[in-house]
Structure 1
Amino acid sequence: MEGVKTTVSQRPLVIFTKSSCCMSDSIITFFRNFGANPAIHELDQIPRGREMGQALSRLGYDQTPVVFIGGKLMGGVNEVTSHHLEGSLVPMLKRAGAIFV
């Protein structure tokens, strides 16, 4: 769990993915369209990726992508979409320093 905590504290927008996940590509593009530059960690490509995946699983996320904004767990695609539709996503990104406009 410490690896995940350390990783998400280093950047305002962090996305854990797997290289085989098509939704991961979509969510990355979604955030980039807002002008964000997310830190992307492909769990099947990085050292300790399996350990981080297990930590995310303990948080309730067995599938990728898993998004953290400002060091806080946002969730997966459904949660990100819900926040966007509610109008709360962009303010969260601004407060975290992930976007500036």
Structure 2
Amino acid sequence: MDMVMKLGAESPVVILSKSTCCISHSIETLIRGFGANPTVYELDKLSNGKEMEKALIELLGCKSSVPAVFIGEEFVGGSNEIISLNVRGKLKNLLLKANAIWI
């Protein structure tokens, strides 16, 4: 869990994903659409990816571990949370607050 949280704090927006996950790609595209440049870690390409995936499953509390999104060094959640924030018009403000984008 510590490694996951450490990675999540490395830049304003961090996405933990898998290279074969279309939902992860969609969330990355959504965030890039605001002008942010997220740091993306593909767990299936990391040597300790399986351990990190187990930690994410515990953190998310569900079977799907990716995508896991950190904004402003805080864990925001998975795809449902990011889409919900976007629909409610709050994702942009969160990205601004984290200095991931500028007006």
For the superposition of Structure 1 and Structure 2, which TM-score range results when normalised by the shorter chain?
A: over 0.9
91, 94, 98: which one aligns with 1:92: 94
After TM superposition, where is structure 1 displaced by more than 3 Å over at least 4 residues in a row? none
Determine if contact 1:43/1:50 at 8 Å carries over to the other structure.
yes
Aligned partner of 2:80: which letter?
Answer: N
TM norm structure 1: 0.93
Percentage of pairs with the same residue: 45
Q: Work out the CA distance in 2 between the residues paired with 1:76 and 1:51.
A: 18
Matched residue count? 101
Query: What stretches of structure 2 of length at least 5 have no aligned partner?
Result: none
Residue of structure 2 equivalent to 1:65: 67
Residue of structure 2 equivalent to 1:26: 26
SS in 2 for 1:91: helix
Residue of structure 1 equivalent to 2:51: 51
1:62 CA displacement: 3.5
TM norm structure 2: 0.91
SS in 1 for 2:80: helix
Query: What stretches of structure 1 of length at least 5 have no aligned partner?
Result: none
1:61 CA displacement: 4.6
Superposed CA RMSD in Å reads: 1.1
The change in CA–CA distance for 1:82 and 1:18 in structure 2 (over 3 A counts) is same
Q: Work out the CA distance in 2 between the residues paired with 1:12 and 1:61.
A: 25
Determine if contact 2:8/2:14 at 8 Å carries over to the other structure.
yes
1:4 CA displacement: 0.8
